[in-house]
């Protein structure tokens, strides 16, 4: 096997490194302006957050001011995988919030109902 990477292989590693920096808090690849990496990271995050807000306005309303900081933590921990859909992202965020106790789960609501206080 040749040790020289093909154009496609080279491009694959360059693009993967950039998306890892932008979407998964990876290190900025060599040669990029780190400030611009940060600008792009925030732009992509804002776009993704806007789509999730649009798809789940009730959840965004329930979370209120907590929506943005929570979403941003969720997003960095869960970069969108190839083949995933925006609706799945919105559902996964809601699930993540429930697991973190930031959104009521159906079960908790029932307990609340027959809790004596």
List of long-range contacts for 47-55, beta carbons under 8 Å, 24+ apart: 48/75, 48/80, 48/89, 49/75, 51/86, 51/89, 51/90, 52/86, 52/89, 52/90, 52/93, 55/86, 55/87, 55/90
Residues 22-61 contacting another protein, CB under 8 A? 22-24, 30-33, 36-37, 39-40, 43-44, 47-48, 50-51
Count of positions on this chain that bind another protein (CB under 8 A): 37
The residues of the shown chain that bind another protein, judged by CB under 8 A, are: 7-12, 14-20, 22-24, 30-33, 36-37, 39-40, 43-44, 47-48, 50-51, 79-84, 86
């Amino acid at each position: 096997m040749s040790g020289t990477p093909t154009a496609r292989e080279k491009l694959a590693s360059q693009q993967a490194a950039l998306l890892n920096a932008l979407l998964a808090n990876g290190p900025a690849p060599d040669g990029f302006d780190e400030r611009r990496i940060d600008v792009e990271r925030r732009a992509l995050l804002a776009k993704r957050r806007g789509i999730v807000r649009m798809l789940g306005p009730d959840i965004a309303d329930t979370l209120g001011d907590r929506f943005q900081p929570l979403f941003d933590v969720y997003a960095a921990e869960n970069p969108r995988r190839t083949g995933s859909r925006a609706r799945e992202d919105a559902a996964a965020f809601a699930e993540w919030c429930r697991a973190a106790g930031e959104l009521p789960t159906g079960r908790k609501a029932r307990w609340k109902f027959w809790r004596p206080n």
